[in-house]
């Protein structure tokens, strides 16, 4: 797996040779390939904009996509992209230096969305939603400029579960982050190839590879966010019943409209007796 001296990709240089790491790597690659195939993400010859924040998840995403590409299982071009949103203290040189060293084609874009968010959101309110919308708009623009057919994000299984429960507890709907969707304009796909990968595996992988992690609290990581509360609940369930997260995730792939209550999904009125 990209480890022979003549063709090893720099992203995998120095990979641990332990059995534990090899199993971890194989598990992540298998889960990513499964998601890509299951949700029909591959269109041969297209170009993907792979979004990098500098966190453990985006590094894992970049590495596994390159491994799949090397294996001939991902016949697309990859362009890494980091959107520097002007957060105070953001180490702007880390990702460009890393990507140059790794020989990864990339684009670094600076857009001060941080100042916009701080101006628009009242003090004490969380600004993740607006920040995300602004970021997504710029990423779609960049994808168009670079001739990409898809914007690729590093959201993993745990992100998807947390979003489901946030919608359940606070939004009054059964919904989460889909692994594949089309943007509102209808001209770009959005993919989440790590949909089946556990957050803990991303963390172990990035740490073992010693990638230069950029902390996720650059915007002042606000306490009391709904996502943090949901994560704490899921952590408690997982501690009491190991494997609970995976069971819940499987449930998202096994919906039964006739056993829910949404008449738009199932024709309850049309039910009749024989």
Q: Following CA atoms 263, 267, 269, 273 in sequence, which dihedral angle do they give, to the nearest 10 degrees?
A: -140
What DSSP character marks residue 105? -
Instruction: Give the three-state DSSP class for 122.
Output: coil
**Which parts of the chain have pLDDT scores under 70?**
1-8, 117-130, 216-224
Residue closest to 229 by CA, chosen among 173, 169, 172: 169
On whether residue 4 sits in a domain, the answer given is no
Domain membership of residue 267 (yes or no) is no
Flag whether 22 is in a domain: yes
- Measured at the CA of 139, the angle between CA 119 and CA 227, to 5 degrees, comes to 60
DSSP string, 195-231: TTS-HHHHHHHHHHHT--PPPTTTT---TT-HHHHHH
Range of the domain at 200: 10-259
Measured at the CA of 52, the angle between CA 171 and CA 138, to 5 degrees, comes to: 65
Query: Which among 51, 52, 60 is positioned nearest to 31, based on CA atoms?
Result: 60
pLDDT tens for 145-176 read 999 999 999 999 999 999 999 999 989 999 99
The predicted pLDDT at position 223 comes to 44
pLDDT in tens, 226-265: 888 899 999 999 999 999 999 999 999 999 999 999 999 9
Considering its fold, how many domains does the chain have in total?
A: 1
What are the start-end ranges of the E strands in the chain? 47-51, 77-84, 106-110, 150-152, 180-182, 189-191
Does residue 31 belong to any structural domain of this protein?
yes
Question: Phi/psi of residue 233, each to 5°?
Answer: -65, -45
Distance CA 67, CA 9 (A): 8
* Domain assignment present for 15: yes
In a domain, 17, yes or no: yes
Task: Please name which of 177, 11, 131, 8 lies closest in space to residue 78, comparing C-alpha atoms.
Answer: 11
Q: Is residue 241 part of a domain?
A: yes
Q: Give Dmax over CA atoms of the chain in angstroms.
A: 70
Question: Any idea what DSSP says for residue 54?
Answer: S
Can you give the CATH number for the domain in which 170 is found? 3.40.50.620
What's residue 92's pLDDT?
86
pLDDT, residue 133, reads 78
Residue 271 lies in a domain: no
């Amino acid at each position: 797996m990209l480890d022979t001296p003549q063709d090893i990709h720099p992203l995998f240089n120095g990979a641990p040779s332990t059995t534990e790491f090899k199993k971890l790597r194989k598990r992540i690659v298998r889960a990513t390939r499964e998601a890509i195939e299951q949700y029909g993400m591959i269109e041969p010859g297209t170009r993907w904009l792979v979004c990098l924040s500098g966190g453990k998840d985006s590094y894992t995403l970049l590495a596994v996509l390159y491994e799949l590409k090397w294996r001939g299982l991902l016949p697309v071009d990859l362009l890494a992209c980091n959107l520097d949103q002007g957060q105070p203290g953001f180490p702007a040189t880390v990702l460009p230096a890393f990507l140059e060293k790794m020989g990864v084609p990339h684009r670094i874009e600076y857009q001060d969305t941080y100042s916009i968010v701080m101006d628009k959101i009242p003090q004490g309110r969380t600004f993740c939603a607006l920040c995300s919308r602004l970021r997504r708009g710029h990423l779609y623009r960049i994808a168009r400029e670079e001739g990409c057919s898809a914007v690729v994000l590093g959201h993993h299984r745990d992100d998807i579960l947390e979003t489901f429960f946030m919608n359940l507890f606070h939004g009054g709907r059964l919904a989460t982050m889909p692994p594949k969707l089309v943007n509102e304009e209808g001209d770009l796909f959005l993919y989440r190839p790590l949909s089946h990968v556990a957050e803990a595996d991303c963390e172990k992988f990035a740490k073992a590879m010693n990638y230069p992690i950029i902390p996720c609290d650059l915007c002042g990581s606000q306490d009391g966010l709904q996502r943090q509360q949901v994560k704490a609940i899921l952590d408690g369930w997982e501690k009491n019943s190991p494997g609970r997260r995976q069971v819940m995730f499987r449930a998202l792939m096994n919906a039964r409209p006739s056993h829910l209550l949404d008449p738009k999904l199932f024709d309850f009125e049309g039910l009749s007796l024989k």
